[in-house]
Structure formats: C-alpha cells, structure tokens
Chain A
Amino acid sequence: MAVVNTNHKSCTVNPLKMSQPIGAALAFMGLNNCMPTLHGSQGCTSFGLVLFVRHFREMIPMQTTAMNEVNTILGGMDNIEQAIMNIWERTKPDVIGLASTGLTETKGDDVDAYIKLIRGKHPELAETVIIYASTPDYVGAFQDGWSKAAVRIIEETAVPCQVKQVNRVNVLPGSHLTPADIDEIREIIESFGLFAVFIPDISGSLDGHIPEDFTPTTLGGTTLVELRTMGAARATIAIGEQIHAAAIELEMKTGVPYTIFDRLTGLDANDNFLQFLSNLSGKPVALKYRRQRSQLQDAMLDAHFFTGGKKIAIGAEPDLLWSLGNFLTEMGCELSAVVTTTQSPLLEKIPAQEVLIGDLEDLEMRAKDCDLLITHSHGRQMAERLHLPFLRFGIPNFDRLGAAHKLSVGYRGTKELVFELANTFLAEDHEATPDSWRESFQEIGTELSSEAHSTCASNGSCSSCN
C-alpha cells in the first residue's frame, strides 16, 4: 500500500515521462500496413521517430501533417487532407493512424469532423481505415496515448460477429510488453489449442525481422481482417491496467467477455494465467510449462540469497512498475524509491511506502542508499553519479541492443529476469577486507552503549559503567 504523491516543483528535471502522441503512434505501429501520423509540427514526429529508431533499431514508419504557424491558426484541415492523400498515394496503407499533439489540441482542431469532410470529398478513400486518437502532449503520458489509441482502434474496427471462431482469443497487450513478450504469450496460449490475435501486435512489425521487400508502412501487425473479426473470438485477455478501457469497449461492442491480467511476470501471476487458459480451453497445462514452472521455482531458490533485502530505486510507467515492482517484492527486494509518470488505479496498491509521479531528479534524490536502479536508458547519467548498478527497463532503451527481444513474461521470462537481477547483485558483490566489519560493529556498539547508559541512569548499578 503506497501513498501516491505528485512532485511540487515547477521545473521537470531529467524527464522520466514521454508524451501521449508517440504512445499512440506505437500502438498504431502494431497494425499491419499502417502509417502512424502525428497531427502537429514536423518536430513532433521527428523526435518520436528518432526515439523509436534508437530503441527498436528498426525502420519506423511515421508521418506528420507538418503544421506551421499559419495553418495552425487557420486550422489543420487542409494539412490533414494533404497528408492523408499523400500517404494514400505513396504507400496505399490499409490504416492511417492519426494522433493529435499539444499544438493542434491547443488550437482545438475538430479532427473527427475534418475526417468526415475529407471522406466526403475523396470517395477513393473508402477502403482505407482512418483511426484518430486525441492525445494532447500536455496531458498524461506515453502509456495513456497507447491506451487511447487502443480504444479508438476498437471503436473504429470492432463489429459483432454471428459466426464464432471457437478457438480464438483476442489479446490486448499494454505498451509495456515487448515483441518478445507478445511472442511468448502467444506460444503459451497456443499450447492450449487456442489461437491468439493481438490487438495491436508489435511483435509482427517491430521484432526485427528482415522482410522480402521494401515496405513503406508497418511490416506486420494485426491485419484489417483480424480487426474486423474481433467479435468472433470466444474471449478477450487484457494485459495491463492501461488496456482495461479498451477491453470494456470491445466487450460492449462485440459481446466478447474479457478477463484482465494485471501482470504476467512472477510465479503466482503465471499460475493464474495458465489456470485460466486451462479452464477456458478445457485442456491441461502442457508438460513444457510444468517443466518451466519447476525451473522457475529452482531459479528463485538459487537467487533468493542474493536478492533478499536489497533496496531498489525504480522509475517506470505504471503498468511496468506494477509488473516489476511486485516481482521484485516477491524476490525479497524492498522498493525504496519509486517514481512513475502518470495516474493509474494500481499506484496505491504498489508495495512501497510512496509512489511519486515525478521525474528522474526526484528518483535520484531518493535513490542514494539503494542497491540497484531500474529505469529506462535515461537513468544512465544518474547511475553513474550514484555508482549504482543499473538495469534498463522500458522505452527508450537506446544504449543497449535487443530492446525488442527483452523477455520478462511467462515462467521462462520470469526465470530470465530472476537471473538477470541476481547476477547484477553478484557482479556488485564486494570482497571482504580486514576492516569490513570494524565500522559497522562500532556503529552497533554505539547504539548498544547508549541504550546501556540510559538503563544505567535508572538503576545506577551496572558493571559496564565502571
């Protein structure tokens, strides 16, 4: 149980947070043959593009309506129209994913109306799905943008289906899951004879595969057909609180019932998940996963010596924080400094004294006595200053390779995380010296003697006073 505070300073120093539009853009990147487009100045797209390129080390399709001073004031309809038509002519996408920015939200562009007018003017766009999410930069954070885009994807494409696909489940992942996580979850679900459609699915587009030919749009992801048949599934699984709203929307539109899993990292969390899948499919948990469960138990036993009692400083978006924070507590660590980016119903349930909505400066001030820092790559300067071992988690991860393939869900992913965590502490283990215990013993000694003195004062007959 944590107290949730917001920092009370005017100046954000070393931001942890990123903005909504690029969170939305990432969600659109999980749709097949899609062009994510930010309605804002060209810089809005450029910064996001660079960020994703450095994180995924992939070509990133992302466009801009290229607003300038004058057309911001006059309204962005012409720019949206030109952008849509140019994208349509150049790349023939199935989906154009539009997200607004601080600039166009301040002006107050009515993008929904613009799209209606543009569709009226251009009947050739009939086959192209245009999804618009309102994501001002000055509200919320990255995962909120993902969440809003996911809701809008469902609102625009989900329809009730008469014919059911009995083995199909929809999976709505949060933005904290990597392509590797999604692949792992898919494999687990398939082991029960079910097949999973992820909405959105960045494992198809950002997993770093080499396509046969050049594609100017996304290289994979949820297809239009898959989107339009979401209503045919027998169940929806949502992973992460941020996707809750989208799951409700999907159930309301199609009648497919949803189950939410707040996290898939940790022994208990995965037990619940596999039991759920077993109940849903009527099939027992496969041998492979019983084996993996046992391996995880063994890893936890081997690692617990090194992880117990360790103090952690963590900065992450709410769902990632929830996932990692609970796992760390289960490994015996203490969450001593916790900073996050945006509100979430999960925050007050996080096993820490305080959860602060703040920045990396706040985390740095609270992290001085910690044993480990966990945050995205921007923690590197602080880790260096505080001489803290540092695990990179979250977006962006630009100074290490393999961000897309970082696995932390399922029994297997949890096991890898257990080893990574314990190995970090092992690497930091200091050799004992003749003076290692001198000081600490003196400290305890002072505490003891001061206690002894206070007792002496009361009865006056103690040997240690002589």
Chain B
Amino acid sequence: MASLNEKVQDVFNEPACDKNQAKGEKERKKGCTKQLTPGAAAGGCAFDGAKIALQPITDVAHLVHGPIACEGNGWDNRGSKSSDSKLYRTGFTTDISELDVIYGGEKRLYKSIREIIEKYDPPAVFVYQTCVTALIGDDIEAVCKAATTKFCKPIIPINAPGFVGAKNLGNKLAGEALLEYVIGTQEPEFTTPYDINIIGEYNLAGELWQIKPLLDELGIRILSCISGDAKYKEVAYSHRAKAAMMVCSKAMINVARKMEERYNIPFFEGSFYGITDTSESLRQIAKLLVQQGASEELLSRTEKLIFREETRAWKGINRYRPKLQGKKVLLITGGVKSWSVVSALQEGGMEIVGTSVKKSTDEDKDKIKELMGEDAHMFDDMRPRDMYAMLKECRADIMLSGGRSQFVALKVKMPWLDINQERHHAYAGYVGMVELVKQIEQALYHPVWAQVRKPAPWEAELSDITEAKAA
C-alpha cells in the first residue's frame, strides 16, 4: 500500500496535464498548489476537498474520523441533491476526545463503523482521515481493512487529512481512493453501447438533472456520475462505461486518466455551463460513443437536438439581452467555473471586466485568454478590499462569486449573484443558462438598489450644504 506521501507525489505527477508535464522534476514535486501564506490565506483544506468530491454519493455513510470541528462545524451544508437516499446528509463523526488523542482513536473508529452498520446498514462506509488523527498515527487503512473483513462490506479509507494541502489536492486524493477501492469492484446488470460516465459533476442545486433529460432523449445512459446523485454501486461498476466526460476541470483528472489507462474508457474535458459549451460537450459525448462502437446515427440525432435546444435557449436569452448588453461583470470564482462561465456570460451580451484565476490551472488561464482576449483581466489573488474598490467605483455592474465574498458587493450596494456550491439556483445546460441570465437581469434591475442607494433626507441636505460651501 502506497504511503500518503507517495500518493500525493503520484497525484502531482499527472501525465494528462500538459502544464504539469512541462515542469521539471523538482518543481513537480512541489505540487500544483502554491504554498499558503499564513495570515493571508483563504479556502478549504484537503479534507474539505475530499469530502466535497465524495459526499454527493448518496447512499454511503460518510464518517469523519477526527475532533468535532471537522464535521460539527460544517456538516449538511452543500447543495448536492439526491433523487433517492438521504443518508449522505447525515453527519457521522468519531468526535474524538482528549483521551482518544492520548491513547489513539482506532478502537473508537472501529466501533463507530459497527454502530453505523447496525443502525443504518449502508452499502459502504467512507472513512475520512483528519489532521489530528493522522498526527497521532491512527492507521485508518488498517481499521478499514479489518472492518471490511468483519462486516463483509466495503469500508473505504479516504486518506486526505487537511494539513497535506488545499482543496484541489483533496479532490484528487478522493479520486485515488475511488480508483483503489471502489471502481471496478462490481458489475452492472447490463451494459449498452450508450453508457457514459460523468466525472467531477456534483449535482449542485440539481444541475445534473438539467442535463439528464437531454441525454435520456438521445438514448445515452449515465452509467455513473462521479459523484453527483450517485449510488455506491454505480461508482463501483463505472468501469464498464464506453466513454467519459470530465466536468470539474482538473479536480478529478486523475480518475478520468487512470480509467482510460485501466479500462480503455476515452474521456474529454467539457462543461455544461454556457450554450456553446453544452453543445460541444454533447457532440463530444456522441463522437466518443460512436468511436467506441455506437451507431453513427447518434451524431445526427445529437445535432438535431442541439439545433432545437440552442434555438430555444437563444430565444430565451434574447429576451434579456437588450437589458444586459454591455453590463460589466466581475467574476470571482475558483477553477472550472471561471472559463466556463465566461463564455456563458458573453453569450448574454455582457462584458467580463475581470475574473479570478486563483484556483485555475494554467490551462484554465489559457482558455480564459482565448475567450476574453490577451488583455483579459485575470486576478490571481484579489483581495476583498480590491473587489470593494472596483465595485464602489462602478467599474463593474454586478459581481458573481461564492457566498463568502457576497457581502463585499452587498455592502457597496451592488448586485451580486451566487455561483458557488451553496447556491440555490441551477445553471447548467441550456435551461440553466437561460436561468442564469434571468437571475442576472433580476439582480441588476431589482427595485432595492434605488432605495438603498438613496441617502437619508437629512444626509442629503448635509451634502447639499457642503457642496454649496465648496461652490
């Protein structure tokens, strides 16, 4: 069994990532994420990343081995939707005490697994390692192995304690765990030439369900989505798919690439954000399936569907276009979303005055340049103070970002829209794009702006007086 350190090195050596391969041996060892600056850092840890990547598997019990902080401070706070089991929303943690820290938490972990199996009988338990239990040397791999034998159920160790790195690394380590313990362990009842995997889609706000009807109509079956609205068995037999689409940029590239190596499942990187991107993704899926032996007529059926959906979507967007033309958008988000949303907004007639590329890979950045031109305003690490200034000086009309920075916009009384994982609206595919544009229009033209920007009567008088004096 590879040590955690070896696994991290392995993840950092990603042949499918051009940028990674262009680096020298030494540079590659340092990994893709920059060293964090104490006192000036933001974002989640590797454990957070692993949990984000795997928690959408709905019928699994996700058990966090660590002190209460890791689960207690943040459970049930993601927008991944389920069409069936709600077990993934139950918070399980060993909540280790001071004594466990001294004597070791392995026994408590083992007993916890037993309690979960007795009470909830899930098809599998995922055990997440955290900093404290890693530091005291709890061997979760060994406990999981023993528990798997004892309870005749897959108990999967997810070894991505927070202090090994940032979220993105956690995503990848979670992927490694799936490759090592889950994928390829079960067989589907039947297969078709139209079976695909979607990798790195988390069904936030139910976005997968904005795409699924299209695939259903084309007769394409999502054999496994890793991991949005997935069941354990679906991930376990995902190796029988004919082709795969990798959605969340580089978050799970290792899963896609290794499945191609091991099981000959070709993949492409695509996005369901934006009309052109959605169409392109559908085309790619069809193309790969045909390449793998599906009937050629799939291509023409796909084109027909794309034509119909695009026409509908354009009609939908055109209604808002006059009001959105030339509006300036500041886009603050991580990795995947930056470039896929950029093209989507341009379709709505809006101008992107800047985008953050903090979590984006260099490949993402190249894509943004391609879309926005060479002089694209990319901010590597935009401080809240700078966002505030940018909005206050009206260099942008609206900010799209994650929940954490929303108040930067709201406090300067500027429109803001949530495009991160806690959002309530689904923005994928053709319908989602129309919804996004509609939401932006609603935000920009909401009646509150005029009201809250108006100074109080007494303050207005005061500023009149000062102005008069100045004159």
Q: Taking beta carbons and an 8 Å cutoff, which residues of A are in contact with B?
A: 9-15, 17-19, 21-22, 37, 40-51, 53-54, 57-59, 63-69, 72-73, 79-80, 82-87, 90, 101-103, 106-107, 136-139, 141, 210-211, 214, 216, 378, 381, 398
Contact = CB atoms under 8 A, between A and B. Distances in A.
A359 to B, nearest CB: 8
A67 B111 contact: no
Contacts of A53: 403-404, 407
Contacts of A102: 66-67, 69, 101, 131-132
B408 A64 contact: no
Interface stretch (B14-22, B38-46, B237-245): B38-46
Contact of A136 (B98, B113, B114): B98
Q: How large is the interface on B (under 10, 10 to 19, 20 to 34, 35 or more residues)?
A: 35 or more
B110 to A, nearest CB: 8
B75 interface: yes
A40 B163 CA distance: 9
Given A15-B68, A216-B384, A46 B48 contact: yes
A14 B88 CA distance: 11
B408 A59 contact: yes
A49 B404 contact: yes
Given A51-B74, A214-B388, A72 B131 contact: yes
Nearest to A384: B86
A48 B73 contact: yes
Contact of B94 (A10, A45, A137, A211): A10
Contacts of A139: 97-98
A143 to B, nearest CB: 13
Nearest to B8: A69
Contact of B136 (A22, A63, A106, A211): A106
Interface string B396-430: 00000001100110010100000000100000000
A43 B37 contact: no
A15 B93 contact: yes
Interface string B85-109: 0100111111111101100000011
A214 to B, nearest CB: 4
Contacts of B413: 210
A125 B3 CA distance: 42
B394 to A, nearest CB: 15
Nearest to A96: B39
Contact of A214 (B67, B68, B136, B384): B384
A40 B165 CA distance: 13
Contacts of B45: 41-44, 46
A430 B407 CA distance: 42
B115 A68 contact: no
Contact of B91 (A13, A37, A137): A13
Interface string B135-174: 1100000000000000000000000011111100000000
Contact of B93 (A12, A44, A58, A216): A12
27 contacts: A12-B92, A12-B94, A13-B92, A18-B68, A18-B72, A41-B163, A42-B42, A42-B162, A43-B48, A47-B48, A51-B73, A58-B407, A59-B407, A59-B411, A63-B39, A68-B164, A69-B163, A72-B131, A82-B37, A82-B39, A86-B39, A86-B40, A138-B67, A139-B97, A210-B411, A378-B75, A398-B77
A98 to B, nearest CB: 11
Interface string B179-192: 00000000000000
B454 interface: no
B118 to A, nearest CB: 10
| Of B90, B407, B408, most A-chain CB atoms within 10 Å | B407
Q: A-B pairs with the 8 shortest C-beta distances?
A: A43-B45, A86-B39, A83-B39, A11-B112, A137-B67, A10-B111, A19-B69, A83-B38
B77 A381 contact: no
A63 B63 contact: no
B115 A42 contact: no
B366 interface: no
Given A106-B135, A138-B132, A11 B111 contact: yes
A166 B411 CA distance: 38
Contacts of A80: 38
B73 A18 contact: yes
A69 B75 CA distance: 24
B465 interface: no
User: Which has the most chain A C-beta neighbours within 10 Å: B36, B37, B166?
Assistant: B36
A389 B381 CA distance: 45
A138 B100 contact: yes
Most buried by A among B39, B74, B93: B39
Nearest to B93: A12
Given A53-B404, A136-B98, A214-B384, A47 B38 contact: no
Contact of A44 (B69, B98, B403): B69
B112 A106 contact: no
B222 interface: no
Contacts of A11: 63, 92-95, 111-113, 115-116
